[in-house]
A and B are shown apart, each in its own frame.
Chain A
Amino acid sequence: MTGKKEARARRALLGAGGYHGTGILLAIFFLAPFAITILSSFRHGTEARLPPIPPWPTTGFSLDAYRGLDSFGAGVWQHTLNSAAVAIGTALLTVVVSLLAGYGFSRYRFMFKNALFVLIIATLMIPFQSILTPLFIILAKLGLNNSLIGLTLVYVTLQLPFSVFMMRNAFDAVPKEIEEAARIDGARDLKLLVRVLLPLVLPGIVTVAIFAFLNSWNEFLAALVLLSDNSKFTLPILISAVRAGRLGAIDWGAVQAGVTVMSVPCLFVFLLLQRYYMRGLMAGAVK
């Protein structure tokens, strides 16, 4: 009897070992490229053109790669600022616009309400890649070509189907009784929305903001097409110019530093707010 028990225990241990062995190998495959890039970006300038073996700095910690990156375009600070302005601007504006729209669609009745809601959601069917050409002309007509504001407005529009859907659902889940009680206490319209309902739909707002931030921080094609002035470039456009090389030579150290600057904020935001990110993903998937 004890022999059988021991065999089963050993098999369970082996199974657990296999499971965690596989898990650790998988984690290495998916995480190592980040770790190697981030560590390599702190090597000395002389090491940057060599393979990252070993991937960590061997001759001391150095910011050479970041200095190299800074020599491109208008400097890495300016481009990081561009990206941050667009991403944070998109997140804020998306939250405000979808908060109002979500509230309107959830709590009011008006003509063509369902048709208008479907219209907003239906824009998901049309990929923005196919309307870039006219967008380029329309923005020029509005005097918003080659402008970070124009790019932000385009990004906000691209976020709206998902965000309005999320916010309407968030408001639908708030019991009407809370609103009635606040109304009796004298809260009306915007005051009611901001003071009473806002805290109740905060999880939805966080989800909307994360997706708006990450998508606009990472977007490449629209920024490539709509920004023509060197100093306006967002980070992805700058780093892809670095990768294209100067005078036939590519500064790989600057590419490593660029990838680090672009990825670390995304990884950080995700790890910090993972719960809200996954909620958004599920809502999109189950829809």
Chain B
Amino acid sequence: MTLAESLSRPARRSRPKRRSQWKGLLYIAPAMALVIVFFILPVLFTFWMSLHKWPLLGAPKFIGLGNYIRMLSDTRFYGALGFTAYYTVIITIAIFALAFPLAIFVERQRRMVGVYRTAIFMPVVVGLASASLLWVWFANVDAGFLNPLLAWLGIVDLKTNFFASFDSAFFIICLMVVWKVAGFTMIILLTGLQAIPTELGEAARIDGANRWKRFIYVTLPLMRKTMALSLILSVTGSILAFDQFYIMTAGGPQNKMISVVYYIFNQSFVSFNLGYGAAMSLGLLVILVLISIFQLWLLRVGEERP
């Protein structure tokens, strides 16, 4: 009997079926209890809360679709959506622009390649909060490292306050996120690169394709699935961004750096409009589920191609 057959064989036919059923459920019970209490229930509860005016203290009041109507006419919510979309596009492009060359750089087995891979990956394992705190100090005009470095290189003035204007603060945040995340995207892309049979590249070379052409016509098409996966991870992660804006700019110059999650956080836990926060959470959820569906579609497209 092969391993696959033995694995798909029904478990323990000889034992009484009822008893085995009961035992299996017992094994998964703790996991199910946690998922139900701390996940399924909250998801259902979000919907219930979104139909109420729900203050922190005092009784919730049913207001039907009031929160949703408010959401659709809330210009600050649209502002947060707009900023989040802007951030997501810029940061995704920036991450890929660095991670793809990095993946190609560390793909071939050469001496020291393991050391370089590990070095590039190190920022991934610390928290986004730690990275934000590190870089907010790094880019501080009085006590930081970036000002003296960039002034020495002649790029900016020594007294430039990066966090005073939107564009420079946004640049610093993007620099921090790229530093923190590029190693992760690199490893995902690396798995895709390594899955490509070397014979294909060889064959293309014999046919006279140069390095650039091989990359465009052989490597990229075969990387569709991996690219889709890392793209989706990057996009959903960016849409949920919060830590860096909260820690590094506290919402940024003129409150221009409020992401969607940040705005929901403010409404729910600073202004204590918990019902309104729940309604916006569901709005965010719908957006993310749509993106997940788009992801599945993208992955299927990837499979149809040879």
Instruction: Give the B-binding residues of A (Cβ under 8 A).
Output: 19-20, 22-23, 26-27, 29-31, 33-34, 36-37, 48-53, 55, 96-98, 100-101, 103-105, 107-111, 113, 116, 119-120, 123, 125-127, 129-138, 153-154, 156-157, 160, 164, 172, 175-177, 189, 214, 217-221, 224-225, 236, 239-240, 243-244, 250, 252, 255-256, 258-259, 262-263, 266-267, 269-271, 274, 277-278, 281-282, 285-286
5 smallest A-B Cβ distances: which pairs? A108-B24, A218-B127, A104-B27, A101-B31, A27-B119
Q: What number of residue pairs across chains A and B have CB atoms under 8 A from each other?
A: 272
| A218 to B274 Cα, complex, angstroms | 26
Q: Find B240's partner among A96, A109, A129, A133 (CB 8 Å cutoff).
A: A129
Contacts A101-B31, A157-B35 given: A30-B119 contact, CB under 8 Å? Answer: yes
Q: Does B298 contact A (CB under 8 A)?
A: no
| A92 to B195 Cα, complex, angstroms | 35
A30-B122, A218-B129, A221-B242 are known contacts; what are 10 more A-B pairs with Cβ within 8 Å? A37-B134, A51-B143, A51-B145, A53-B145, A100-B31, A221-B265, A267-B122, A270-B125, A278-B187, A285-B187
- Tell whether, in the assembled complex, residue A119 and residue B243 are in contact, meaning their CB atoms are under 8 Å apart: no
| A154 to B229 Cα, complex, angstroms | 26
- Determine the chain B residues whose CB is within 8 A of the CB of A172 once the complex forms: 7
Contacts A138-B42, A243-B136, A256-B137 given: A107-B11 contact, CB under 8 Å? Answer: yes
- Determine the chain B residues whose CB is within 8 A of the CB of A27 once the complex forms: 115-116, 119-120
| A136 to B264 Cα, complex, angstroms | 14
Instruction: Give the A-binding residues of B (Cβ under 8 A).
Output: 3, 6-7, 9-11, 17, 20-28, 30-32, 34-35, 37-43, 45-46, 49, 102, 105, 110, 112-113, 115-116, 118-120, 122-123, 125-130, 133-138, 140, 142-145, 147-148, 179, 183-184, 187-188, 191, 226, 229, 236, 240, 242-243, 246-247, 250, 261, 264-265, 268-269, 274, 277-278, 281-282, 284-285, 288-289, 292
- Determine the chain A residues whose CB is within 8 A of the CB of B148 once the complex forms: 51, 53
| A7 to B243 Cα, complex, angstroms | 53
Chain A's nearest CB lies how many Å from the CB of B143?
Answer: 4
- Tell whether, in the assembled complex, residue B282 and residue A116 are in contact, meaning their CB atoms are under 8 Å apart: no
Q: Find B6's partner among A23, A175, A278 (CB 8 Å cutoff).
A: A175
| A278 to B186 Cα, complex, angstroms | 13
- Tell whether, in the assembled complex, residue A127 and residue B240 are in contact, meaning their CB atoms are under 8 Å apart: yes
- Tell whether, in the assembled complex, residue A133 and residue B268 are in contact, meaning their CB atoms are under 8 Å apart: yes
- Determine the chain B residues whose CB is within 8 A of the CB of A153 once the complex forms: 34, 38
Chain A's nearest CB lies how many Å from the CB of B108?
Answer: 9
- Tell whether, in the assembled complex, residue B277 and residue A37 are in contact, meaning their CB atoms are under 8 Å apart: no
- Tell whether, in the assembled complex, residue B127 and residue A266 are in contact, meaning their CB atoms are under 8 Å apart: yes
Q: Find A109's partner among B21, B49, B138, B226 (CB 8 Å cutoff).
A: B21
Chain A's nearest CB lies how many Å from the CB of B283?
Answer: 9
- Tell whether, in the assembled complex, residue A127 and residue B39 are in contact, meaning their CB atoms are under 8 Å apart: no
What residue in chain A is nearest B260 (Cβ atoms)? A129
Q: Find A263's partner among B10, B49, B120, B130 (CB 8 Å cutoff).
A: B130
- Determine the chain B residues whose CB is within 8 A of the CB of A259 once the complex forms: 130, 133-134, 137
Chain A's nearest CB lies how many Å from the CB of B36?
Answer: 9
Chain A's nearest CB lies how many Å from the CB of B196?
Answer: 15
Contacts A109-B11, A137-B45, A157-B39 given: A116-B129 contact, CB under 8 Å? Answer: no
Main SS of the interface on chain B? helix
- Determine the chain A residues whose CB is within 8 A of the CB of B229 once the complex forms: 285
What residue in chain A is nearest B46 (Cβ atoms)? A134
What residue in chain A is nearest B140 (Cβ atoms)? A252
- Tell whether, in the assembled complex, residue B246 and residue A240 are in contact, meaning their CB atoms are under 8 Å apart: yes
**B42, B105, B183 — which one has the most chain A CB atoms within 10 A of its CB?**
B42
- Determine the chain A residues whose CB is within 8 A of the CB of B28 once the complex forms: 100-101, 104-105, 116
- Tell whether, in the assembled complex, residue B31 and residue A240 are in contact, meaning their CB atoms are under 8 Å apart: no
- Tell whether, in the assembled complex, residue B46 and residue A130 are in contact, meaning their CB atoms are under 8 Å apart: yes
- Tell whether, in the assembled complex, residue A100 and residue B120 are in contact, meaning their CB atoms are under 8 Å apart: no
What residue in chain B is nearest A183 (Cβ atoms)? B12
- Tell whether, in the assembled complex, residue B138 and residue A33 are in contact, meaning their CB atoms are under 8 Å apart: yes
- Determine the chain B residues whose CB is within 8 A of the CB of A256 once the complex forms: 137
Contacts A37-B134, A130-B285, A160-B35 given: A50-B143 contact, CB under 8 Å? Answer: yes
- Tell whether, in the assembled complex, residue B23 and residue A108 are in contact, meaning their CB atoms are under 8 Å apart: yes
- Tell whether, in the assembled complex, residue B6 and residue A220 are in contact, meaning their CB atoms are under 8 Å apart: no
Chain B's nearest CB lies how many Å from the CB of A285?
Answer: 5
- Tell whether, in the assembled complex, residue A255 and residue B6 are in contact, meaning their CB atoms are under 8 Å apart: no
What residue in chain A is nearest B291 (Cβ atoms)? A125
Show 19 residue pairs from A and B whose CB-CB distance is below 8 angstroms, ordered by the A residue: A23-B115, A27-B115, A100-B27, A104-B28, A108-B21, A109-B10, A123-B40, A130-B46, A133-B274, A134-B45, A156-B34, A175-B6, A176-B7, A220-B242, A236-B127, A243-B133, A252-B140, A267-B122, A286-B191
| A217 to B122 Cα, complex, angstroms | 16
- Tell whether, in the assembled complex, residue B34 and residue A97 are in contact, meaning their CB atoms are under 8 Å apart: yes
What residue in chain A is nearest B25 (Cβ atoms)? A110
- Tell whether, in the assembled complex, residue B126 and residue A221 are in contact, meaning their CB atoms are under 8 Å apart: no
| A277 to B138 Cα, complex, angstroms | 29
- Determine the chain B residues whose CB is within 8 A of the CB of A34 once the complex forms: 122-123, 134
- Determine the chain A residues whose CB is within 8 A of the CB of B115 once the complex forms: 23, 27
What residue in chain A is nearest B41 (Cβ atoms)? A138
- Tell whether, in the assembled complex, residue A285 and residue B188 are in contact, meaning their CB atoms are under 8 Å apart: yes
